[in-house]
Amino acid sequence: MTLWTTVLLASGLAFALKFLGYVVPHQVLDGVIVSRVTAMLPVALLSALVVVQTFTIPGGALTLDARAAGLAVAVTALLLRAPFLVVVILAAATAATLRALGWG
């Protein structure tokens, strides 16, 4: 799949899912189980993305490097109710600083 195919296919499906909500009869997707699964999907996916992008290298092997320190700083910033952009910049700055000092 080329990058453009990925971009356009993901975009098309994203719109189709949004549009579906406006055209299907209201009862179809309104069950409690469907609601619960749909509420939990972003939680599971985002959590998995966090750990995979922090603790693995290309190929999938587990590792501990400057990104882990960046994540620890991000979590601390979130606990202190920092806004999104501050969280992201602090994590990047932490990893960049550690690498400049020769670690990770």
Tokens read off for 96: 């960049």
Q: Which of 47, 39, 92, 85 is nearest to 69 (CA)?
A: 92
Q: Give the residue with the Cβ less far from another protein, 61 or 102.
A: 61
Spatial CB neighbours of 29, under 8 Å, sequence gap ≥ 6? 21
Task: Among 80, 83, 101, 102, indicate the residue that binds another protein (CB under 8 A).
Answer: 83
The verdict on 64 binding another protein (CB under 8 A) reads no
Tell the smallest beta-carbon distance from residue 80 to another protein (Å): 12
User: What binding mask, one character per residue, do residues 16-45 give for another protein by CB under 8 A, x or -?
Assistant: -xxxxxxxx-x--xx-xxxxxxxxxxxxxx
- Report d(CA 74, CA 87) in Å as an integer: 5
